[in-house]
Structure 1
Amino acid sequence: MAHGRTRPTSRDVAHAAGVSQAAVSLVLGDKWRGRVSEATAERVRRAAQDLGYRPNLAARNLRLGRTRTVLLVVPALTTEFFAGVYTGAARVAAAHGFGVVLYPSPEGIGPARDPFASAQAALDGVIASSMAADALTAIRGDQLPLVMLDSDPRGSHGAATVNLDITDGVRQVADHLLALGHRDLLHLAADVPSWTFEIRARELAERLAAVPGTSLRTARSPLAIDAARTAAEAALTAPGPRPTAVICDDDLLAAGTYKAARRLGLRIPDDLSVTGIDDLGLATAIDPELTTVRLDAELFGERGMHALLAVLEGRTPARGDIPVELVVRASTAPPPAP
């Protein structure tokens, strides 16, 4: 048994637990089910903990021919949403002995330099947002086991896709505003070529087209508050009836709309209702607090990592979109009287 400063070995753990080294490897590699009993597994785990044993991952990975490292490709971290995705993915990865390397694509989208000499040699798999899909080509991530986030499952390059139920989120926003009585609406759309934003525009147009007497105009903006202020101000002062509600693709765009309304002397929600999507921290920091669709970013990351683990192990990933929820706050109200 190990004493003093000598690093304990798997043989020490096997001796302390009264089992073979093979049993120790099975338990600590989380491959014991069906091979050793629950009681034996618990005895091995307790012995390892008492001894302060840490497996030599580098040596084990060389034997396995795997690095136990996953790349998470996301847009540039301009909001906390993708930080939440990383947190969720890293939590599941750590529980399975994997590490996650976060790779923000420069400028949010577009090609990016390879962060490794050879991605295929350095990585076991990739989880990628469709908003940063172009970066995959540069890092050759599309040649590895790949899980796509926010991606059209019918045309995805990934072995699996994980999506939030963004269609239902847009439907909840539209139904909320329609129930309040709004009929002249503005869609402040994210100027980003991505499936997740295309699906928002399509669902919104279809939902409103089904209700007689509604009008929907669209303005586009980069995902930045100042750009959104400029776009919203131009749309709200364009010829024709002024919209009574603005549906924003993102909370950042909603914050820009608030600034535009203030510059135009419009009160929210008395003169103009505003909605967002994400439920970022700023949704409750702005005044009035924002009605928005809550997306569970950490659960999104967790599901992405679980899907990749399933792909790596030859299992079928769980199906079904992640539910989303409209959080109604003070930025929406019935439209002003004509």
Structure 2
Amino acid sequence: MTRPTSRDVATAAGVSQATVSLVLGDKWRGRVSERTADLVRQAATTLGYRPNLAARNLRLGTTRTALLVVPALTNEFFARVYTGAARIAAEHGFGVVLYPSPDGTGPARDPFASARAALDGVIASSMAADALHAIGGTDLPLVMLDSDPTAGGSAHVNLAIADGMRQITQHLLALGHRRFLHLASAIDTWTFEVRAEALTTHLGPHTELRTVRAPLSVDGARTAMETALAAPGTRPTAIICDDDILAAGACKAARRLGLRIPDDLSVTGFDDLALATAVEPELTTVHLPAERIGEQGMTALLAVLEGTPWTAPDIPVTLIPRDSTGPAPTP
């Protein structure tokens, strides 16, 4: 069976091939009437016409492809970010290629013979920013996720991370906690710096705060917390973790030391991963709308590609209180 062409669509709709190109290329507004556009779309659907995207993209000098750079595929948070970005991309005839930055395996390698020839733009997590240089992503239109908004050269899509930490501290202070341990990620990146600064700011006077850094893994967090909780001195009554994965490790350490959560020790996380409701007791954490981050990241990139200035408020986050936090234990 012969594949229908744009000429066939034009004949069926009673219009020119140029009009077909305008309508199916979504550039008809202001040039073609709504009625004519509907006729073209109906004719294309009836005939089963599919445009030759490769040829069209070659003519236009565009690939309609975005690259999403994330730290790892093992973290469900970034899988959700991809889902959101891909949804918006599909609505605009774009595709999203996912590039996980290698961790612990040396410098990232450029997967493209020419990133500029293969991609229209890049969306990147600040946690994988180092990979941008390897793939030549810094030379392309760029949207950074969860990154320093004062850094130039790109658009930014951020979460209200500092407010999330404010919600955690208010929750714990209201429960009577005054001795805190911050289980911080050992990854040196903007988003974790913001958490640490916000924590210090919102705890206020008459509180104690100690910081312990750990690799972003359950075992790494467990090891760090076993050492910290077994150390001489007054034990904290609440552990504030940079991430749910760290919080799961903190809970394991507490149980190994015979501490009850939340009777002896309250624990909070950050992200609201599936892990937060898989542990027992379920984890008090801050919900980060990952799919919305991906959606807004792709929307921002589309704006950048059109030459439209991009600005947007930080995406709100929400504290989800669960059973891992309770009143501070009586001295």
TM-score, reference length from structure 2: 0.97
Residue of structure 2 aligned with 1:164, choices 155, 159, 176 = 159
Distance 1:109 1:166 in 2: 29
Which residue matches 1:53?
Answer: 49
Matched, 1:273 2:269: no
**SS of residue paired to 2:297:** helix
SS in 1 for 2:85: helix
Q: Sort the Cα spacing of 1:24 and 1:318 in 2 relative to 1 into closer, same or farther, 3 A.
A: farther
SS in 1 for 2:68: strand
* Aligned counterpart in structure 2 of residue 231 of structure 1, from 215, 224, 228: 224
Q: Which residue of the partner structure matches residue 128 of structure 1? A: 124
Task: Give deviations 1:52-110, integer Å, cap 9, x for gaps.
Answer: 11110000011011111111111022310000111111111111111111110101797
Is the counterpart of residue 31 in structure 1 residue 24 in structure 2? no
Displacement of 1:39 after TM fit? 2.4
Identity %: 74
- Provide, for residues 195-237 of structure 1, a one-character-per-residue CA deviation record: whole Å limited to 9, x for no partner: 00000001101111x2x31011000111100001011111212
Contact 1:130/1:148 (<8 A) preserved? yes
Separation in 2 of the partners of 1:315 and 1:37? 25
1:216 maps to which of 209, 228, 233: 209
**Corresponding residue number in structure 2 for 1:114:** 110
Runs of at least 4 residues off by over 3 Å: 108-111
Name the residue aligned to 2:100.
104
Aligned to 1:192: 187
CA distance in structure 2 between the partners assigned to 1:108 and 1:45 by the alignment = 50
Distance 1:39 1:328 in 2: 53
Shift of 1:283: 0.7
Q: What are the residue-to-residue correspondences of 1:68-83 with 2, within 5 Å?
A: 68-83=64-79
Structure 1 residues 148 and 87, CA gap change in structure 2 (3 angstroms): same
Aligned partners of 2:107 and 2:310: how far apart in 1?
Answer: 28
What amino acid is aligned across from residue 187 of structure 1 in structure 2?
A: H
SS in 2 for 1:213: coil
Matched residue type, 2:254? A
Match of 1:205 in 2: 200
Which one of the candidate residues 53, 59, 62 is aligned to 1:66? 62
1:307 to 300, 305, 324: 300
Structure 2 residue corresponding to 1:44, chosen from 40, 44, 49: 40
SS of match in other structure, 1:111: coil
Distance in 2 of aligned mates of 1:253 and 1:282: 11
When the two structures are superposed, what TM-score results if normalisation uses the length of structure 1? Answer: 0.95
1:238 deviation in Å?
A: 2.0
Ranges in structure 1 where 5+ consecutive residues have no aligned partner: none
Query: How far is the alpha carbon of 1:45 from its aligned partner?
Result: 1.7
Task: Tell me whether 136-145 or 36-45 shows the greater mean CA deviation.
Answer: 36-45
**Could you say what secondary structure the match of 1:278 adopts?**
coil
Q: Is the 8 A contact 1:283 1:290 kept in 2?
A: yes
Figure out how many residues of one structure are paired with residues of the other and give that number. Answer: 331
Root mean square deviation of aligned Cα = 1.4
